[in-house]
């Protein structure tokens, strides 16, 4: 036997409506992430990488003093700046999703563990 419908329980149409609202919010969030720019740094700001929320590098800035370093040092600094930007993007995304869902997302769920700009 099925239970009688309680007016306080959401009906199927309410669930569909909420799912559509959530989908719209997710699409809006994706658009915002495309427009978001995050700055990653290494070497105390000697190397800077500006990335979009979709992990595309927009700009690389190298302090002139770093050009005197060995190639391997410069490569490590660039990689560290990229990783810093990526971590910040992942944290920013996790915070946005958590806000959308109204919950706190666990560290590492979406990847990085850096800070947002």
What is the full per-residue pLDDT of the chain (117 aa) written as tens digits? 555 555 556 688 888 888 888 888 888 887 888 788 999 999 999 999 999 988 999 999 999 999 999 999 999 999 999 999 999 999 988 888 777 766 665 565 555 444 433
Q: pTM for the whole thing?
A: 0.67
pLDDT, position 114: 42
What's the CA gap between 25 and 114, in Å, rounded?
24
CB under 8 Å to 46, separation ≥6 — which residues? Answer: 62, 63, 65, 66, 77
């Amino acid at each position: 036997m099925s239970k009688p419908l309680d007016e306080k329980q959401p009906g199927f149409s309410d669930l569909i409506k909420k799912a559509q609202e959530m989908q719209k919010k997710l699409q809006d969030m994706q658009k915002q992430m495309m427009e978001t720019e995050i700055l990653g740094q290494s070497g105390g700001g000697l190397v800077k990488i500006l990335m979009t929320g979709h992990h595309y590098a927009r700009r690389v800035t190298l302090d002139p003093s770093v050009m005197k370093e060995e190639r391997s040092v410069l490569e490590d600094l660039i990689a560290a700046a990229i990783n810093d930007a990526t971590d910040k993007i992942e944290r920013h995304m996790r915070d946005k999703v958590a806000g959308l869902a109204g919950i706190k997302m666990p560290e590492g769920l979406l990847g990085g563990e850096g800070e947002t700009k």
